[in-house]
Every structure is written in C-alpha cells, then in structure tokens.
Amino acid sequence: MSVSLRVTQRSIADRALLGLQGNLDRLSTLQQQLSSGKAISQPSDSPMGTISALQLRADITQNAQWSRNAQDGLGWLGSIDNALSSATTMVSRARDLTLQGNNTGFASQQARDAMATEVDQIRNALIGIANTKYLNRPVFGGTTTSSTAYDANGNYLGDSNPVARTVGSNSQVRVESTGPEVFGTGGSSLFQVLANISTDLRTNPSQLGADLNSLDSASNLMMSQTADVGTRYQRLNQMRQAADDKQLNLKASLSGVEDIDLPKTMMNLQMQQVAYQAALGATAKVIQPSLLDFLK
C-alpha cells in the first residue's frame, strides 16, 4: 500500500471491521473444531485427509466384518471339533467291543449278541453326531439345504461344496468338513464298517479281524480330520486376532487424520482469544478520537 494513502475515519472503521471479522472467523473455526472434536468436518477442510478418512473407514468396516466372519467360522469348527472328539471316544469303545468279540475263545455268542447291540447303538449315536448342527445347518453336510447330513441308515445327504469364511483380503478358510471326508465313503465308511461289525458279531465272528482293520482305517481318517480341523481353528483364531488388531490400528490412524489435537487446539483458541481481545481494545481506542474532541 502506498505511503501517500489518505486515511479517513471510514477507512479506519472498515479496516478495523475486516480485521475483527477475520479474527472472529478464525475463532469460530477453532470453536467448531473443539466442539465437534473433528479437524475435518467437510471435504474441503483437507481433501487428502478426507480420502484417507474414507478409506480408513471402509477398511475398519471390512476388518470388523472379517473378525465377525472368523468368529462365525470358529463356531463351526468348534462344533466340528466337539463332535469329532465325542465320535473318537465312541469309535474306541466300538473297537474294544470288536476286539473282545474277535477273541472267540473268550466270548460266547450270547455275549457277542449283546456286543452287537451296543455297536448298533454306538452307530446310531455316531450318525447323530454326524448330524451335528451349527446355527441350524449340519456341519458335515457341505452346502446342503437338507436339515441333516446323514439319514437314519447312514447315507450321506449333503454335497461336497466347501463352506468358507473370508477372514482377510483374498484369504479364505474352510470352516466345515464334509461327511465323506470325515467318515469315509461307500464300503469303507464308518457307518458301513460298524454295520458290518454288528452283523459279523452276530453271524460271522471270523470276519471280525478284517473288520477291525477297516475300523482302524476309518478311525485314522477321522483322526487326521480332527487334526486338520484343529489347525484350521488355530489359523482362524490368529486371523481374527489379526483383524481385531488391525481394526485398532486403523481406528488410531483415523483418529489421527480426523480428530483434533486437543491441547494444540485449546492453545490455539486461547491465543486467538487474546488476539481478538487485543484487536477489540485497539479498535475501541483508535476509532473514538477525532479533532472534534479537542475543539471547543
């Protein structure tokens, strides 16, 4: 501004008003930031910060979903694990009975009939276990719409489609085991083997040795699936933990982008208040006097 500028009362008042308005505007911005707690309340406050906030929010929602998916998967695998451990106990009881029955010198036919009845019961109980449900869906039935995985005769009703849970970007974990994978298929299926044992106990004890081998291989299949389920459970648990941790980190980042630095903003507000009061004081002093005050 040139030096020779002629100053008038109105120009002083105008300039004072502009200055005061600028001060008040900054004050109100700080006030708004403090009362909302947000440094970015609209995209133009910081376009780059806004895009970070948008992406972080999307990521947080996604990680929360992954964590929820993993939780659901843990429910499935937990049910399977429980089912398999009780199935294992039952299968070993069936093995004991078969061994006893195979000992022809020791067991009478009457005793073997009794054993056969118990094996039948074990078989029925195992079919019940194979129909274990989680949230009303058979956990050994793949993606079947049927309410059970096996019918009463031990025939598989499900399909072989996997049920998977997404627990990370491009990371899916299977959360079911289909019946055939766990209990075997056709003649070597656990239920068929147990049916054979029951029949052989009653009518053909000499076959029991071979049955025992079949039972062992069916049992081994189940064991290996139990181990597999355990591993998947472990992995899912880790992924859930990772998703939860990530979520915490993302929330911290979002807060860093979006939220105000409280002490700093308080300090700024204080400074702005001082500046505003100083401006008010100065304006009051400058605007008042004119030559009028000194003329008599």
**Footprint of another protein (CB under 8 A):** 1-2, 5-11, 14-15, 18, 40-48, 50-51, 53-55, 57-58, 61-62, 64-65, 68-69, 72, 135-137, 142-145, 159, 161, 163-166, 169, 172, 258, 290-292, 295
Given a contact cutoff of 8 angstroms between Cβ atoms, the answer to whether 240 and 70 are in contact is yes
Given a contact cutoff of 8 angstroms between Cβ atoms, the answer to whether 236 and 70 are in contact is yes
DSSP state of 166: E
Q: How far is the CB of 169 from another protein (least distance, A)?
A: 6
Q: How far is the CB of 52 from another protein (least distance, A)?
A: 9
Nearer to another protein, 40 or 215 (CB): 40
Nearer to another protein, 53 or 201 (CB): 53
Nearer to another protein, 159 or 228 (CB): 159
Nearer to another protein, 98 or 177 (CB): 177
Q: How far is CA 252 from the centre of its chain?
A: 19
Cα–Cα separations (whole angstroms), residue 142 to 32, 55, 219, 232 = 55, 35, 21, 16
Residue 36 to residue 93: CA distance in whole angstroms: 67
Nearer to another protein, 79 or 196 (CB): 79
Q: How far is the CB of 71 from another protein (least distance, A)?
A: 10
Can you spell out the DSSP letters for 89-150? Answer: HHHHHHHHHHHHHH-TTT--HHHHHHHHHHHHHHHHHHHHHHT-EETTEETTSTT--SS-SB
Nearer to another protein, 22 or 209 (CB): 22
Among 97, 86, 178, 167, CA closest to 128: 86
Q: How far is the CB of 64 from another protein (least distance, A)?
A: 8
Q: How far is the CB of 33 from another protein (least distance, A)?
A: 14
Q: How far is the CB of 177 from another protein (least distance, A)?
A: 16
φ/ψ region of 199 (left if φ > 0, alpha if ψ in -120 to 50, else beta) reads: alpha
Q: How far is the CB of 178 from another protein (least distance, A)?
A: 13
Nearer to another protein, 5 or 105 (CB): 5
Residue 73 to residue 164: CA distance in whole angstroms: 8
